[in-house]
């Protein structure tokens, strides 16, 4: 239960910190942090939680990561469902807290997006469904390669959170214009349920693509490094 609680709390922080930076701070007049700041915020949530709870639960914070670690031989199948439930629950609670904060400002309109992921007319840059699908698969694949490599017993010890956090930052720098960057079904679900409508209708892609990408990442890492340790 301590592991599941850690995953809940860690995913809560990821969604509140990452999506919160997008909703509250990205376009703040005069000092908005923009795409670069939001990208860094997501990376910092993972980096800080990796040091805070990595020794408790492994700090997955992401159903796709848990599935990818299972595919890579690093995680038992019997813990997959409880981890995913904890992660999605943490994301939804964080979305609720963010909604309460954001709605305290006059003129707040959740239908404007609320940091939800989307494609076509709901892509920040107007990218198609195919472009979004490819982006999410490839970005999650590379994220798993980074995670598996940085946490391999043969890698330099103690630096994995930095590599993983910076990897997630880079992923956001690349893909925010395409999908608002998911690579994490819990992150996508955590805000989409408050938007409803189109965000829920498009949510399938942000479950399917990250999971496929995570499995491909595990397979790719095994191919270049052998069995992970």
How many alpha carbons fall within 13 Å on the CB side of residue 171?
30
CB 196 within 8 A of CB 118: no
The beta-strand segments (E) located in the chain are none
pTM: 0.94
**Which residues are within 8 A (CB) of 170 and not within 5 positions of it... i.e. 6 or more apart?**
39, 43
Domain count, the chain: 1
CB 163 within 8 A of CB 215: no
Segment 157-193, tens digit of pLDDT: 889 999 999 999 999 999 999 999 999 999 999 999 9
- Nearest residue to 16 (alpha-carbon basis) of 43, 45, 40: 45
CA dist., res. 220 & res. 202, Å (int): 28
CATH of the domain at 50: 1.20.1080.10
Type and span of the H or E element at 5? helix 2-20
CB 211 within 8 A of CB 185: yes
In Å, how far are 57, 102, 149, 224 from 48, measured between CA atoms?
Answer: 14, 24, 19, 29
CA dist., res. 181 & res. 2, Å (int): 29
Q: Which domain holds residue 19?
A: 2-225
CA dist., res. 146 & res. 129, Å (int): 26
Q: What is the pLDDT, as a whole number, of residue 57?
A: 95
Segment 71-99, tens digit of pLDDT: 999 999 999 999 999 999 999 999 999 99
Encode the chain (229 residues) as per-residue pLDDT tens digits.
899 999 999 999 999 999 999 999 998 988 899 999 999 999 999 999 999 999 999 999 999 999 999 999 999 999 999 999 999 999 999 999 999 999 999 989 998 889 999 999 999 999 999 999 999 999 999 999 999 999 998 988 889 999 999 999 999 999 999 999 999 999 999 999 999 999 999 999 999 999 999 999 999 999 999 765 5
CB 197 within 8 A of CB 187: no
């Amino acid at each position: 239960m301590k592991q599941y609680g850690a995953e809940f709390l860690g995913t809560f922080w990821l969604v509140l910190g990452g999506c919160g930076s997008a909703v509250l701070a990205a376009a703040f007049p005069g000092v908005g942090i923009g795409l670069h700041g939001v990208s860094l915020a997501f990376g910092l949530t993972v980096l800080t939680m990796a040091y805070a709870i990595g020794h408790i639960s492994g700090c997955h914070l992401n159903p796709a990561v848990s599935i990818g670690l299972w595919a890579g031989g690093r995680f038992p199948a019997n813990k997959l469902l409880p981890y995913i439930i904890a992660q999605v629950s943490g994301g939804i609670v964080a979305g609720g807290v963010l909604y309460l904060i954001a709605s305290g400002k006059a003129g707040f309109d959740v239908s404007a997006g609320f940091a939800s992921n989307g494609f076509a007319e709901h892509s920040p840059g107007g990218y198609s469904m195919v472009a979004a699908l490819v982006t999410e698969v490839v970005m999650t694949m590379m994220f798993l390669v980074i995670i598996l490599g940085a946490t391999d017993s043969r890698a330099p010890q103690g630096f994995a959170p930095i590599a993983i956090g910076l990897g997630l930052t880079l992923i956001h720098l690349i893909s925010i214009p395409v999908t608002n960057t998911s690579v994490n079904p819990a992150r996508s679900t955590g805000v989409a349920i408050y938007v409803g409508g189109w965000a829920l209708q498009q949510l399938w892609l942000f479950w399917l693509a990250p999971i496929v990408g995570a499995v491909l990442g595990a397979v790719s890492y095994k191919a270049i490094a052998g069995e992970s340790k």
